[in-house]
Structure 1
Amino acid sequence: MADTITAATAALETQRRLLVDEYVRRAWNMWQSLTPQDWWNDAVTQGAAAYITQQQMAFVRAMRRLGISYADIMLRLVGTTPQGQIPEYVVVRDNTDPWKVALRPADAYRSLAVQHPDIRPRGWDGLDKRVQEAVNNWLDMARNQLQDNADTDGTLAQNRATASRYEASGIRRYRRVIHPELSKSGTCGLCVVAATNTFTRPDLMPMHNRCHCTVAPITESNDPGLKLNGDDLQKIYRAAAAASGKKGYSTSAADLTKLRVDVTSNSELGPILTRAQSETIADTESLGEWHMPDMQMTNAQMRRMYERASEFNRHYQILADSGKDIESFRYDGRNYTFKSGPHLKQAWDYVRSLLEYSRGWLGLAA
């Protein structure tokens, strides 16, 4: 059984990596098409993010299908017949809709660039060394934000679809399965410790950024994840040594007790693994309490995107009709500045496309 699960996991990871890479490629190609001025033009960045949002939704659908396929293999291995109709698409994050997440590379770029107001290149070529290094840093930050979002959202979408299939098939207990072979540095200590636990609710299995753990079902007679995790026991000892500042492995009780984890609630992603007493917790609690994404939440977020696209469409039209170069307004607690430029029309088209998509999802008349 272990060999079959390992093969299924390898196939899962291959497909996961292909889907993530393709989504990141498409999204980054969009951001790379912007001029330096475009990065400061809300009309263009919102349009680019609107395009990426539809790419992200297609990506999440594919990741959910992958998660269901993996679940069906695991269920058959423990002697359970897959059952239940799982929604094709469910949003990944609470309190923040996909369009806002898609915009975060632009926010990351600006957050660094605003620290250097003297550097505002007119183009990407012919820059002196100091300016080029700064601009490269801004772009790297934007791409890293995109990659983080893709890895995190992809794994969550996959694992939630897997867990939903398990639950619909009568599974009531779950185990986190670590995969040291899927990371250049091996499984992190947080996941190794968490893998010793079982879960009775799939929505309470904590993750972390760029996590590659999967979910295995547990029946009365089968716990395949226990054997797989046991084969990686040395990872626990290595993590224990690292927690004590040592190299290699440690099996001493004193070192193992230093490797402790906490679970904190992230208001977008849900339960998040952190090292115990860690000062650096990626948390967004100010946004509100977390709830497991479902179809009701998906419809609510789709409506928010529809309303935002409707409002932005109105201001694109105002800018086009007025003959002015700038249209400034405030919406949903944020100030926006739409500027004329060579990419304005294309950006507007992307927003209108998202407007039509969300309208169709909600079943609204044009």
Structure 2
Amino acid sequence: MLGRLSRSWQGLGSWRDADVARFQRSTLPVVHAGQRTIASLTASYLEQMHREVLGTASPRIRLDPDEVSGAAVRNGTDPADVYRRPFKVVWKTLADGDPLDVAQQRGADRLEILAKTDLQLARTHATRLVLDQQPKVTYFVRELRGEYDCALCMIASTQRYAKENLLPIHPGCDCGVRPVRADYDPGQVVDEARLEAIHKAVEAAVGQSARDARAVDYRQIIVQNNHGEIGPVLGIRGQTFTGPDDLRPAS
């Protein structure tokens, strides 16, 4: 999917207003198909995990494709508006005086982030819908999947979460989940060894650890922000998201 979108973007030749609708017509169906494929694979994976973890077959899962794609995973935001944003990046970069090749690449980078986020949103929303239909599952743990994992995801992976809490993400996040049976609570921390390794890494980086909860406030390192469009997002305390007030001219 990412390759298809990249080729469509590079093949436009120009990135003017008139090119937006042409790009949307060629790419939005690809994005929706990618999201629905990811959701279907996620459901199959969680059904398999249900058998492995609980030793019984999963209840029959009903997954509405419209609930795991498009506006449904972005709190009602029209995908056409979402995939106009790379063009806005191009126009803003040109307005700042940068050359077209720089502007086009920044637009391409923005497109890749949007597409990766949409795929991960399809996975997290499908996860929630599937776990809702598996009453024997109460908790889930976050599984690191990528070749490289950010520190935020690494810390989160040491914890267990109630299944009703939608998996927080960040742009480009590729974490998965593993269900935990309903009659067993592993406790808040499920991987003491990894958590200890993170403490040591923090200590090596800043000269002290947070084992006493005072030397380093980990709440300043990992928090869950709520993004109005895509839901729970992992970030650093102090990060904020652009909102209507940021877009209004100063009075």
- TM-score when normalising by structure 1: 0.57
Helix, strand or coil at the partner of 2:206: coil
CA shift for structure 1 position 81: 2.4
Task: State the distance in 1 between where 2:24 and 2:189 align.
Answer: 43
Aligned to 2:206: 245
Question: For the structure 1 residues 220 and 34, does the alpha-carbon distance in structure 2 shift closer, same or farther, using more than 3 Å as the test?
Answer: closer
Q: Does 1:43 align with 2:18?
A: yes
Q: Does 1:177 align with 2:139?
A: no
CA shift for structure 1 position 190: 5.5
Task: State the distance in 2 between where 1:182 and 1:157 align.
Answer: 17
Q: Does 1:217 align with 2:186?
A: no
What whole-Å deviation, never above 9, does each CA across 1:212-244 have from its counterpart, x for those lacking one?
2222222244568989744533453255337x6
Helix, strand or coil at the partner of 1:272: strand
**Aligned mate of 1:66, from 41, 64, 86:** 41
Helix, strand or coil at the partner of 1:182: coil
Aligned to 1:107: 88
Aligned to 2:226: 265
Task: State the distance in 2 between where 1:113 and 1:143 align.
Answer: 14
Aligned to 2:77: 96
Question: For the structure 1 residues 256 and 93, does the alpha-carbon distance in structure 2 shift closer, same or farther, using more than 3 Å as the test?
Answer: farther
Aligned to 2:100: 135
Indicate if the aligned counterparts of 1:50 and 1:102 stay in contact, CA closer than 8 A.
no
Task: State the distance in 2 between where 1:107 and 1:224 align.
Answer: 47
Q: What does 1:257-336 align with in structure 2 at a 5 Å threshold?
A: 257-260=216-219, 261-276=222-237, 278=238, 280-281=239-240, 283-286=241-244
Aligned to 2:152: 189
Question: For the structure 1 residues 142 and 162, does the alpha-carbon distance in structure 2 shift closer, same or farther, using more than 3 Å as the test?
Answer: same
**Comparing both chains, which one has the higher relative contact order based on Cα–Cα distances under 8 Å and sequence gaps of 6 or more?**
1
AA in 1 matched with 2:24: A
Aligned CA-pair RMSD: 3.0
Structure 1: gaps of 5 or more residues: 1-22, 120-133, 288-366
AA in 2 matched with 1:88: P
Aligned to 2:168: 206
Task: State the distance in 1 between where 2:189 and 2:57 align.
Answer: 22
Indicate if the aligned counterparts of 1:45 and 1:103 stay in contact, CA closer than 8 A.
yes
Helix, strand or coil at the partner of 1:253: coil
CA shift for structure 1 position 29: 1.0
AA in 2 matched with 1:82: S
**Aligned mate of 1:86, from 55, 58, 63:** 63
Q: Does 1:31 align with 2:6?
A: no
Aligned to 1:19: none
Aligned to 1:52: 27
Indicate if the aligned counterparts of 2:141 and 2:161 stay in contact, CA closer than 8 A.
yes
Indicate if the aligned counterparts of 2:74 and 2:229 stay in contact, CA closer than 8 A.
yes
Aligned to 1:75: 50
Task: State the distance in 1 between where 2:79 and 2:42 align.
Answer: 20
Helix, strand or coil at the partner of 1:212: coil
Helix, strand or coil at the partner of 1:218: strand
Task: State the distance in 2 between where 1:34 and 1:189 align.
Answer: 37
When Rg is computed on C-alpha atoms for both structures, the one with the higher figure is 1
Task: State the distance in 1 between where 2:8 and 2:200 align.
Answer: 41
Percent of pairs identical after alignment?
23
Helix, strand or coil at the partner of 1:240: helix
What whole-Å deviation, never above 9, does each CA across 1:165-211 have from its counterpart, x for those lacking one?
121121452334141x6143x342355147424224143x3222222
Task: State the distance in 1 between where 2:233 and 2:41 align.
Answer: 23
What whole-Å deviation, never above 9, does each CA across 1:87-141 have from its counterpart, x for those lacking one?
134332114111221222212111111112xx7xxxxxxxxxxxxxx33321221
Indicate if the aligned counterparts of 1:93 and 1:269 stay in contact, CA closer than 8 A.
yes
CA shift for structure 1 position 62: 0.8
Question: For the structure 1 residues 251 and 266, does the alpha-carbon distance in structure 2 shift closer, same or farther, using more than 3 Å as the test?
Answer: closer
Helix, strand or coil at the partner of 1:78: helix
CA shift for structure 1 position 155: 1.4
- TM-score when normalising by structure 2: 0.80
Indicate if the aligned counterparts of 1:152 and 1:211 stay in contact, CA closer than 8 A.
yes
Question: For the structure 1 residues 254 and 176, does the alpha-carbon distance in structure 2 shift closer, same or farther, using more than 3 Å as the test?
Answer: same
Task: State the distance in 1 between where 2:147 and 2:188 align.
Answer: 20
Task: State the distance in 2 between where 1:173 and 1:47 align.
Answer: 45
AA in 2 matched with 1:209: P
